Structure 1
Amino acid sequence: MRRIKKILFVFVAILLLLPSFLVTAATNTSKSEDDVSSQEGTVSSKDEVVYAKLSATGERQEIYVVNILDVEKEGTVIDFGRYSNLKNLTDLAELNQQNDAVEFTAPKGKFYYQGNIDEQPLPWDVSVSYLLDGKEMTPEELAGKDGHVQIRIKTSANEEVDPVFFQNYLLQVSLSLDLEIYRNIVAPDGMLANAGKNKQITFTVMPEKEEDLLVEADVQGFELEGIDISAVPSSMAIDSPDIDEMVGDMESLTDAIEEVHNGVGELESGVSELNSGVKELRTGSAEYQEGMKIVSASSSELIGASKQIDEALVSLNQALSGNSEEMNLGGLNELQDGLLQIAGRLKETSTGLSTLKKNYATSYQALDGAMNAIPAPEISETQIQELYGSNADPNVLNQLIDTYSAALQAKGTYSAVKAAFDAVNSTLEQVSGGLLEIATHLETMAEGISSSLENNEMTDSFALLQKGISDLSTNYKEFHSGLVGYAGGVSQLSSSYDMLDSGIADLSTGTGELENGVSELHDGTGELKDATSDIPEQMKEEVDQMMAEYDKSDFEPVSFVSAENENINSVQFVLKTESIKYEEPEEVEEIEEEPQGFWARLLELFK
């Protein structure tokens, strides 16, 4: 019993002390909260995530921002932004807004709050249009339709917003298409990936770029989940690509172009030498042609003179064949003079032929040297096609091939008639020697007649003379026939050579044009060499410039909601369009009301 009393006494004492303890604790707690609210808090950094809801065609509908503050020291914090509605996402502390300032008490650590924005536009204008079988339709009209659909998404800069976001942010546009209703999906600039039963399509829009994105597919019962658009700063440092191999290839190309230029220079020198040789050939050919014409004309005169000698020998032979008694001394003297005149003319003819042979040999030697100087390499059809594939000037190559063909044709023609040229030289030598030998015989005969007249040995000498003249006349007929054949060959050779000389003239014209063309080609390859010599360095500079254009690693984030906010760590945008759903119209069944009885209608009056 005493133990129970003792316990009751302690219990009563505790009850008496508890109110004062609670009052003291409440007082201390109230005092602690007052102390926290009275001190200024410190924010080390702030993140902003901007969420925007767009219509199915891209019009802005609703924007709210989740602000994330890293509170380094607890206390009163002021953040800036014009919001239509505020919501504390961290605790139950009240958020107070005056004009563009939001004031609240925040504990140490992460503090989250949400603010809705009514008027501020987004940094990007987004427009989404839909076409079905080439006809533009509204989302409501398109829902549930079948056909070939095109979805066009246009992004551009909003001139009403600070351009810092458009200039430094990278957009990712994503669509998810249900493979049960979409087939034959095409997105020219997008990346396609499988995501379960859906096909995920992702586009990337670089900073400072406005894009027109396209997705097209065959659809049955059109529906579309919302299009997701996220924007993040392109602040990662971009490593320069390894272009050493490509630069090495370009250096090889420039070296090859330089080699081509040097090769064309050597070709120009060779063509110049060829043209000089062909010019000499043209000159020699002209001289040779003129000489052949002279030989041909001289041959006609030579045939006439030879015919007269032949006729004279025939007449002389006939005259000597008569009775020797009929021959008087005066006739013998005339015969002696005639023989000496014939011998003299034959010597003159022989001398003319010797001169002609010398001139012919000189012209022929010049012609032969010039023709042999023309190179005749064998160029295959494969090599010719490789030349056409070397980016050389086709006109110059055509001239080169034509000149090459003309040179080969000239050399071939010359080789075919060279034997005739050689025969002319030996024939002239034989004819000249034969004429000289006949002249010598005639002089010997004239001397014999003179000696016989002086020694009165007419009978024996006359018989010898008669026989000698007869033999001479017979032999001369054979000589004259050969001379006529020679003259015909010379005339034919002169006529044929006109064609060869014409070909050589064309060849000379072609090599002249070729020299000019190759000279222009050499100038062109020189310009190409100068223009491409620094391509490797230009490539490096272009790559560095391009990388610098897309490297935003030095970008300093700024607040989207207010320029007064400081220590901004990051600002991100998350945009989403409305989904397009097809809802089949519900069928409403009409319920026929049963007719009411008297009591039911009576009771209805009191309700």
Structure 2
Amino acid sequence: MKSIVKILITLIIITLFIVPAAAAGTQKEEVIYVNLNGDGSVSHVYAVNIFDMQTGGRITDYGSYASVRNMVTTDQINVNGDEITIDTNPGKLYYEGDLGSVPIPWDVDITYYMDGVPYSADEIAGKSGDLEMHIVIIKDPSDTEDFYEKYALMMTVTLDANKCSNITASGATMANVGSDKQLSYTLFPGKGADVVITSSVVDFGMDAISLNGIRLSLDVDLDTSDMEDDLTELSDGIVELDDGAWELRDGVENLSSGVGELLIGSDQLVSGARQLDSGAGSLSLGLTYIAVNNNNLMNGADQIFSGLLASANAHLSGSVSTLTKDNYASVLTSAISSTNDTTKQQQQLGQLLTQLTTYEWFYTNLSSYTTGVGYAAANASLLSNGASSLSSGASSLYEGAYELNSGTNDLKEGVANLTNGTGELRDNTTGLDTKLTDKINEVLDPIRGGTENTKSFVSEKNTEVSSVQFVMHTPEIKVLEEETTVEEKTENLNLMQRVMRLFGLA
């Protein structure tokens, strides 16, 4: 009950303060009250028609209503199809017409998520977690009178700060209103919205989301004198730009000198790289020649090793196992430890083991040497190739430096052209202040209002309409139905009566 009273009072105040004063005669104002469902779809639409009668007489109005009622007087309302007539006395007349669930110019879609799970407005009441609210507003296809294109929309979302924390709402103006956080959005004519509001909530509930559509008419008159001063500063800046161009030209001269030094250095680099290329080639050739004999050396060493083993096997005459490169050390060591003759035979076997071990060491190192020679020959070839590439790169560097030197000369000419261009730019800034003012007016004219007649939302037959306003709201999201005491009901009723008397409605 409290919330309903608040909404009624708000709507009355909005009607009396936002809607402009009506013209004399039978010209009227329309305030379209729209009850939205929790998801933003239209539930019911009512039109409050306001006439300010300077003299008594008959009012003729048009609208296809399911029902009508006189809100402030006892004058009878006569309905004949879509024609409504009222005989009334001087003063303001308010009558309400029930339009049912007709479409409105804005298509509003509201969705709620709690911890990523979608809920309807009724289902989400009382839940806790991470709230995400999406409000999407686009033009409704039924809007043939271009209310969407001509009317601004002001939307207000109110969250209880005692239940909602960490509120984020990009694009909103956020204000503290008592214990509430009020999020306000302004949508200019022809502009929709895609609003995302997030918050951490406990026992979630919220007041109605309100939307007010009014024809935007701003009295905007800009003083461009400051802008003209700025344009003068711009002209002075162009002169400074010209001076800077000449400083740039001096810098280019210094660059040209540095490029000349680079040319000398790159020429020296080319000479050194060629010498390196020649030396690396000779080294590669020598190592390659040496590497050619690697196989012969290893084959000869292998034959000697095999001959030593064959001689040893013949001398031992089968007293031990046949000796090979792989087993001679283990066989001789075992034979030495197992022989009973601790003098001569052990000595002979020991000498043979030493001889074979020494040769194997030589054989292994010879293999490492030939392998190293092979690697050295291969790497010397790579070095030779690299030195050749270095020599080629140094030549390219020299050619690039030469081209860079030529480029600096072109840059000099370009800087000279730049100074000519800044002079032309200064000449062309004449009258720029007038051009800027014209452009500003071009941008502001659509929101300054206009002289074209306001069209009725209710019926195209209503031709004398001074203003049309849309007042929309969703239901509250309530955790529990509030109980209103007799005292609160009496207080609310008295408050309503005082407001009605204050604005001449009762």
TM-score computed with the length of structure 1 as normaliser:
0.48
Do structure 1's residue 189 and structure 2's residue 171 form an aligned pair? yes
Shift in Å at residue 515 of structure 1?
1.6
Shift in Å at residue 566 of structure 1?
3.2
Which residue of 2 is the match for residue 120 of structure 1? 102
Separation of aligned partners in 2, 1:525 and 1:63: 67
> How do residues 495-510 of structure 1 correspond to structure 2 at under 5 angstroms?
510=404
Aligned length: 323
Task: Give the counterpart of 1:579 among 467, 470, 476.
Answer: 476
> How do residues 39-118 of structure 1 correspond to structure 2 at under 5 angstroms?
43-118=25-100
Name the SS of the counterpart of 2:413 in structure 1. Answer: helix
Of all paired residues, the percent bearing the same amino acid is 26
Separation of aligned partners in 1, 2:228 and 2:170: 30
Which residue of 2 is the match for residue 337 of structure 1? none
Shift in Å at residue 85 of structure 1?
0.7
* Structure whose alpha-carbon radius of gyration is higher: 1
Which residue of 1 is the match for residue 229 of structure 2? 248
Shift in Å at residue 177 of structure 1?
0.8
Which residue of 2 is the match for residue 139 of structure 1? 121
Higher normalized helix content (fraction of residues): 1
Name the SS of the counterpart of 2:176 in structure 1. Answer: strand
Contact 1:235–1:552, Cα closer than 8 Å, also in 2: yes
Which residue of 2 is the match for residue 548 of structure 1? 445
> How do residues 331-480 of structure 1 correspond to structure 2 at under 5 angstroms?
402-406=255-259
Contact 2:145–2:455, Cα closer than 8 Å, also in 1: no
Name the SS of the counterpart of 2:107 in structure 1. Answer: strand
Contact 1:234–1:553, Cα closer than 8 Å, also in 2: no
Distance 1:96 1:137, change over 3 A: same
Separation of aligned partners in 2, 1:526 and 1:163: 55
Distance 1:265 1:223, change over 3 A: same
Distance 1:529 1:550, change over 3 A: farther
Structure 2: which amino acid aligns with 1:196? G
Structure 1 unaligned runs (5+)? 1-41, 271-396, 412-503, 585-607
Distance 1:515 1:260, change over 3 A: farther
Separation of aligned partners in 2, 1:583 and 1:251: 66
Name the SS of the counterpart of 1:543 in structure 2. Answer: helix
Separation of aligned partners in 1, 2:233 and 2:119: 56
Shift in Å at residue 244 of structure 1?
4.1
Shift in Å at residue 52 of structure 1?
0.6
Structure 2: which amino acid aligns with 1:403? S
Which residue of 2 is the match for residue 239 of structure 1? 221
| Residue-by-residue CA offset, 1:477-509 (whole Å, 9 max, x unaligned) | xxxxxxxxxxxxxxxxxxxxxxxxxxx999886
Separation of aligned partners in 1, 2:132 and 2:433: 43
Contact 2:260–2:405, Cα closer than 8 Å, also in 1: no
Task: Give the counterpart of 2:154 among 159, 172, 179.
Answer: 172
Name the SS of the counterpart of 1:90 in structure 2. Answer: coil
Structure 2: which amino acid aligns with 1:208? G
| Residue-by-residue CA offset, 1:95-114 (whole Å, 9 max, x unaligned) | 22111101222111111111
Contact 2:130–2:199, Cα closer than 8 Å, also in 1: yes
Shift in Å at residue 76 of structure 1?
3.0
Distance 1:94 1:243, change over 3 A: same
Shift in Å at residue 552 of structure 1?
1.1
Shift in Å at residue 132 of structure 1?
2.7
Which residue of 2 is the match for residue 558 of structure 1? 455
Name the SS of the counterpart of 2:238 in structure 1. Answer: helix
Distance 1:61 1:514, change over 3 A: same
| Residue-by-residue CA offset, 1:55-93 (whole Å, 9 max, x unaligned) | 111110011111111223323322111100111112223
Structure 1: which amino acid aligns with 2:106? W
Shift in Å at residue 216 of structure 1?
2.0
Contact 1:247–1:539, Cα closer than 8 Å, also in 2: no
Which residue of 2 is the match for residue 428 of structure 1? none
Distance 1:505 1:247, change over 3 A: same
Separation of aligned partners in 1, 2:464 and 2:186: 29
Distance 1:401 1:184, change over 3 A: farther
Contact 1:235–1:555, Cα closer than 8 Å, also in 2: no
Separation of aligned partners in 1, 2:406 and 2:440: 46
Shift in Å at residue 260 of structure 1?
2.3
Higher mean C-alpha displacement, 138-147 vs 176-185: 138-147
Distance 1:267 1:189, change over 3 A: closer
Structure 1: which amino acid aligns with 2:199? A
Separation of aligned partners in 2, 1:537 and 1:251: 13
Separation of aligned partners in 1, 2:461 and 2:116: 49
Contact 1:254–1:529, Cα closer than 8 Å, also in 2: no
Shift in Å at residue 538 of structure 1?
4.9
Separation of aligned partners in 2, 1:62 and 1:264: 69
> How do residues 157-306 of structure 1 correspond to structure 2 at under 5 angstroms?
157-240=139-222, 242-246=223-227, 248-261=229-242, 263-264=244-245, 268=249
Shift in Å at residue 580 of structure 1?
1.4
Distance 1:176 1:119, change over 3 A: closer
Shift in Å at residue 529 of structure 1?
7.4
Distance 1:45 1:264, change over 3 A: same
Separation of aligned partners in 2, 1:147 and 1:522: 67
